[in-house]
Structure 1
Amino acid sequence: MLVLTNFYFIVLMTGAERLKIAYILLVYAALLPGKLAYLLAFASPFAHLQSLLLLASLGLARYSRPLQYALIKHRIRRKYLMRVVPIVIISSLIFFYFIGAVVRKASGYMALYGGLSDVFMILFLLLLAWQVTVDRFRMGVALSPLVVGAYFLGDDRVNMIAFTLTMYLLLIEGRISHPLVLLLLVYFSVKSIPFVYNILAHGNGFDGFLF
């Protein structure tokens, strides 16, 4: 129930059309095995460019253990190198395909948003998650691209990506029922009330939205 009444879930279901498609592709990528999963994941930026941030975070989360090993031992195991290199190459090709659109959007966002105040929510999520997670390193490296993204681009939908990523990592750890997580989910369910009211009253959930 707390998931279905969550503020970000409702925003995703009622608006954010292209981001919704990107999320659907990523959900299927998480559920399906093998090469098809990678194909769907790499297709998500074609639906919404902000999924590039989510893909970067998911990639860091997926390979956090060999990354931690490389930082400590100053070397990379060959089996992981053989997996990472093709992903980096494909990711680079996708990034350069979108480079024009990325620069235009980034320039527009940076002119209006960004700064230290925009990373507050993600840092709060990180601090909360560190109290709950069983793998602090993975959580930290996974959220790091989103902290950078929020600083330069603003916290508009980056916060949504950070929240869903945090909940996903805690879910796969079996920590979603932790009291701190439940308290956060209750907050976002309460936060959805004025948003839904504004949809019904004004046709736009963000009209007069206060918090």
Structure 2
Amino acid sequence: MAQVNYIREMYYEKGMSYAEISRATGHDAKTIKKYINKANFNTPPKPPKKLGSKLDPYKEEIDTWLKADKHERRKQRHTAKRIYNRLKDIYAEEFDCSYRLVAAYVKERKLKIYNGEGDFYLPLQHIPGESQVDFGQADFYERGIRHMWEENDIVLLSVCRKEKNKTPKRDIKAKNRMNDWIKHGHERQKDL
């Protein structure tokens, strides 16, 4: 800015021409003219051009899948990995997007589509000697037929036994006892 003020001073106060100022400062005459004629040097920069994404041809199809998923149970919805694999299967050679590009777009769209659904989290804790079971719902396909996994079916997800001086044999016995307990408890529930 000091250089601009110096050039303007030479032109307005000393009465020098563009060519004389150019020789004195070493700047081109067009640059000198621009500095003299410009009143405000604080013009905002031009916004960057928004370039198209490689994913643009596929976005409409992804949005369709995600909107259809809104009517499915949470565990049956498309993940970014599933969408990526589906696009690779459908478009084979012409699909050249990376997984990260697909995952970023899916994350952005899910936030807009689901609009804050499921904004709570429960901490997953494995307390020694306890197990975690899932009483949820899920669909699965067997020989092309869609079946629903019922709420009252129990699945043992993990048994975690971390105590000092316990041998692997004892851990296996503890897991077997836990599985037996759950199996018999489940049978007792069916009898009621």
TM-score under structure 2 normalisation? 0.27
User: Higher relative CO (CA 8 A, sep ≥ 6), structure 1 or 2?
Assistant: 1
The structure in which a higher percent of residues are helix is 1
TM-score under structure 1 normalisation? 0.26
Compare CA radii of gyration and give the structure with the larger one: 2
